[in-house]
A and B are shown apart, each in its own frame.
Chain A
Amino acid sequence: AQSVTQPDIHITVSEGASLELRCNYSYGATPYLFWYVQSPGQGLQLLLKYFSGDTLVQGIKGFEAEFKRSQSSFNLRKPSVHWSDAAEYFCAADRDDKIIFGKGTRLHILP
Chain B
Amino acid sequence: DVKVTQSSRYLVKRTGEKVFLECVQDMDHENMFWYRQDPGLGLRLIYFSYDVKMKEKGDIPEGYSVSREKKERFSLILESASTNQTSMYLCASSLAHRTAYEQYFGPGTRLTVT
Contact = CB atoms under 8 A, between A and B. Distances in A.
Interface residues of A, number: 21
A84 interface: no
A90 B43 contact: yes
A94 B100 contact: yes
B62 interface: no
Contact of A43 (B90, B98, B100, B102): B90
A97 interface: yes
Contacts of B97: 97
A101 B36 CA distance: 12
Mostly, the B contact residues are: loop
Contacts of B100: 32, 51, 94-95
A101 B42 contact: yes
A23 to B, nearest CB: 12
A41 B26 CA distance: 22
Interface string A20-42: 00000000000010101000011
Contacts, number: 41
B105 A44 contact: yes
Interface residues of B, number: 18
Nearest to B42: A103
Contacts of A43: 4, 90, 92, 105-108
Nearest to A94: B100
A45 interface: yes
Contacts of A36: 105
Interface string A93-104: 011010101111
A104 B42 CA distance: 6
Contacts of A97: 97-98
B47 to A, nearest CB: 13
Contact of A103 (B4, B40, B92): B40
Interface of B: 4, 40-43, 45, 90, 92, 97-98, 100, 102-108
What 5 pairs between A and B have smallest CB-CB spacing? A43-B105, A103-B42, A32-B100, A44-B105, A101-B43
